Chain A
Amino acid sequence: MTTARTKPLSSAEPGQLAQGSSWLGALRNRRLWLGVLGWTVACLIFFPIFWMVLTGFKTEAAAVADPSLIFSPTLDSYAEVQNRANYLHFALNSVVVAFGSTLLALLIAIPSAYSMAFLPTKRTKGTLLWMLSTKMLPPVGVLVPIYLLFRDTGLLDTRTGLIIVYTLMNLPIVVWMLYTFFKDMPKDILEAGRMDGASTLQEVLYLLLPLTLPGIASTGLLAVILSWNEAFWSLNLTSSQAAPLTAYIASFSSPEGLFWAKLSAASTMAIAPILVFGWLTQKQMVRGLTFGAVK
């Protein structure tokens, strides 16, 4: 591939033609290097995940021994992990909590982003920044108040409780993203709708949402992934009934005894659903994230 591409450059005649083709060659070369760079970065990012999957198939002794790609794979760790904790129970909690909180966040964020994008006041910018600033507070700072509130309202170890916390946690990001997507939409379209007698609700449902769907989808996906991976609140606010996959992974780590293979097996199982989900929705994601970027 490389030689085929560079060939015209090396066999080019001097003169005008050569200048043109060397320019072309340089461009091709640049694309090639960008490709190489892209792959290198992708491999670097993917390597820990690859290593984790690999470790899950090793024995505990092989997992701590010198790193090696050659070993006889075993399913022991998976069997042991399944034996000790019911994966489906945790996975179901993760699905319910991640999707539930995302839906709730979107329901709240769409109207608020709509009002901020299309009916801004002089405080809109400030409100947006203030919302984002709540993300800068380390969560452990509010652990005890939230724990007490949850205790008194009976929300400890319930999925409802986790959904509420995750919704609050993701809301600033969701509102911000939706706000930027909505802002990019030409106001004229909404105005045209209003001329034709559409109510605000109809305007949002039939014009705004269909036109910004890629943006909403990628916002939703991001919220799902963030909720799926969240470990602080899920570990602290649940015990057995509502514990999601992050608590499942945490139960296989230990300062005493060997655990790397089991931990890797559990982690692989925990990320598998979201990995498949992300893979299936990749197109939406990329479309959403680059939405409006090429206007």
Chain B
Amino acid sequence: MKLSRALPLAGIAALGASAAQAETITVATVNNNDMVIMQSLTDVFEQAHPDIELDWVVLEENVLRQRLTTDIATGGGQFDVMTIGTYEVPIWAERDWLTPLDDLPEEYRVDDLLQSVRKGLSHDGTLHALPFYAESSMMYYRQDLFDAAGIEMPEQPTWQQVRDWAEQLHDPANQTYGICLRGKPGWGENMAFVSTLVNTFGGRWFDMDWQPQIDSPAWQEAIAFYVDLLGNYGPPGASSNGFNENQALFSRGNCAMWVDATSAAGRIYDASQSQVADKLGFAPAPIAETPKGSHWLWSWALAIPASSDAKEAAREFITWATSQEYVELVAEEKGWTSVPPGTRESTYENPSYQEAAPFADFVLNAIQDADPTDSTLEPNPYVGVQFVGIPEFQSIGTQVGQMVAAALSGQRSVEQALQAAQRATQRTMDRAGYLD
């Protein structure tokens, strides 16, 4: 008797419990500083949204990229929110792998997002991912060394000037090297930088018929310049230095100049992480023949895969994590230099941010100025400043990156390296059917 009465009750209780149970969304993200902060603010989000729980999968960039690609291409549905970049968004959106984000709530203020960033994350005029942070590239230099040598930084430095200064300031005996640049091979490592250098020297990856242009005079000139500059006035073993290694070198005071991501500014301006925080100068990325494509545009964005079964909750989360409210939350918890940069105009209009981050204007200008649809002197058929927005580019970029690194380390001459790179790219494009 008792039992038969208790059973339906237990059933009702179980029903109630499952209704009150929060929906769990799985967020896949990269292990970068800004994302680590986002993860640490999980509690704040969950308190404001008691019906949503967050599950995190944090992975290193390359591992994550491969993991997400497998999942999204097979419709695995393992993730509800994916952290992807400007390279993936248009390619994946074209294949209908991402949920279009067209009816965003008014309070999200989509117009506040920087135009160039928004453009990079759109396909057919519709946003397919929301920018979490964005970056361009710029030049960092040591104000104290420049002052001592009597060099004044112009508003827009040229690469020729940079070479002269590097020669003047190069002092290997005291472990101060003229310039630090990326040398580690990879489409997202050395080729991100090298592509901008080639752009400003007047080169491009492909002509309008998708014919590779790597053996063109502009490439020759740019790579010869790069090998001479970094080989003669760079740190030893430069061909194995990536972003991280250069950041460590620069913040220990080993480089007079460094051209790299604007997102490093917050860290090298933070005295607890950098020994050069009080001797820091900022300048736009140097130019040569043309200002076009002289600095890159990259943004890490949050997208909802079409295979997610919790799209509403996922949208709730990504609009929170990319909102102005979130930027202010980070400022309050971690300080203004830690806020995710490069996404919203309102961040740059904020006087507190301007005061805390003297580099803010350079970053904003660089991002606004970068145009992924018009990044080379001569016309090209692709979207992207430091990459080419086609699926084949990952392998092309990495292959060419290895050739450039071989030229830098002296294993091949510049000419040989570029010829080999041209042949390899030609083969890949041929097989992929671009050159039919």
**Chain A bound to chain B:** yes
A256 touches B244 (CB 8 A): yes
Among A64, A83, A236, A257, contact of B67 (Cβ-Cβ < 8 Å): A236
A235 touches B244 (CB 8 A): no
A243 touches B76 (CB 8 A): no
B160 within 8 A of A: no
CB distance from A58 to the nearest CB of B (A): 13
Which residues of chain A are near B77, meaning CB under 8 Å? 151
A147 touches B31 (CB 8 A): no
Given the complex of chains A and B, what is the CA–CA distance between A241 and B60 in angstroms? 18
Asked if A254 meets B26 with Cβ closer than 8 Å, knowing A144-B74, A151-B77, the reply is no
Given the complex of chains A and B, what is the CA–CA distance between A250 and B55 in angstroms? 16
B390 within 8 A of A: no
With an 8 Å Cβ cutoff, the count of chain A residues facing the other chain is 30
Which residues of chain B are near A92, meaning CB under 8 Å? none
B267 within 8 A of A: yes
Which residues of chain A are near B395, meaning CB under 8 Å? none
Q: Which of A106-150 contact B (CB under 8 A)?
A: 143-144, 147-148
CB distance from B143 to the nearest CB of A (A): 22
CB distance from B146 to the nearest CB of A (A): 25
With an 8 Å Cβ cutoff, the count of chain B residues facing the other chain is 41
**Chain A CB within 10 Å, residue with most, of B31, B57, B74:** B31
A259 within 8 A of B: yes
B421 within 8 A of A: no
16 more A-B residue pairs beyond the given contacts A251-B59, A255-B244, A256-B263, with a C-beta to C-beta distance below 8 A: A65-B252, A85-B56, A147-B71, A156-B76, A157-B78, A235-B67, A239-B26, A239-B28, A239-B79, A240-B55, A247-B57, A250-B59, A251-B31, A253-B31, A255-B60, A255-B189
Which residues of chain A are near B4, meaning CB under 8 Å? none
CB distance from A66 to the nearest CB of B (A): 10
B79 touches A148 (CB 8 A): no
A295 within 8 A of B: no
B75 within 8 A of A: yes
A151 touches B74 (CB 8 A): yes
Which residues of chain B are near A257, meaning CB under 8 Å? 32-33, 244, 247, 267
Given the complex of chains A and B, what is the CA–CA distance between A134 and B32 in angstroms? 38
B74 touches A254 (CB 8 A): no
Chain B residues within 8 Å of A, Cβ to Cβ: 26, 28, 30-33, 36, 39-40, 55-63, 66-67, 70-71, 73-79, 188-189, 242-244, 247-248, 252, 261, 263, 267, 273
Given the complex of chains A and B, what is the CA–CA distance between A61 and B32 in angstroms? 17
Among A144, A243, A247, A256, contact of B32 (Cβ-Cβ < 8 Å): A256
Smallest Cβ-Cβ distance to B58: which chain A residue:
A251
Which residues of chain B are near A226, meaning CB under 8 Å? none
Q: Which of A144-195 contact B (CB under 8 A)?
A: 144, 147-148, 151, 156-157
Given the complex of chains A and B, what is the CA–CA distance between A252 and B56 in angstroms? 13
Chain A residues within 8 Å of B, Cβ to Cβ: 61, 64-65, 83-85, 143-144, 147-148, 151, 156-157, 235-236, 239-241, 243, 247, 250-259
Which residues of chain B are near A241, meaning CB under 8 Å? 55
Among B26, B76, B78, B243, contact of A255 (Cβ-Cβ < 8 Å): B243
Given the complex of chains A and B, what is the CA–CA distance between A9 and B367 in angstroms? 79
Given the complex of chains A and B, what is the CA–CA distance between A64 and B267 in angstroms? 15
Asked if A258 meets B67 with Cβ closer than 8 Å, knowing A85-B58, A151-B76, A240-B56, the reply is no
A148 touches B40 (CB 8 A): no
Which residues of chain B are near A254, meaning CB under 8 Å? 30-32, 60-61, 244
**Closest 9 pairs (CB-CB, A-B):** A251-B58, A253-B60, A254-B31, A240-B55, A239-B78, A64-B248, A256-B32, A239-B57, A257-B33
Given the complex of chains A and B, what is the CA–CA distance between A19 and B67 in angstroms? 69
**Chain B CB within 10 Å, residue with most, of A64, A148, A247, A254:** A254
CB distance from A173 to the nearest CB of B (A): 26
Which residues of chain A are near B59, meaning CB under 8 Å? 235, 247, 250-251
A255 touches B58 (CB 8 A): no
A147 touches B76 (CB 8 A): yes
B188 touches A255 (CB 8 A): yes
Among A83, A148, A157, contact of B74 (Cβ-Cβ < 8 Å): A148
Smallest Cβ-Cβ distance to B186: which chain A residue:
A255
Which residues of chain B are near A85, meaning CB under 8 Å? 56, 58
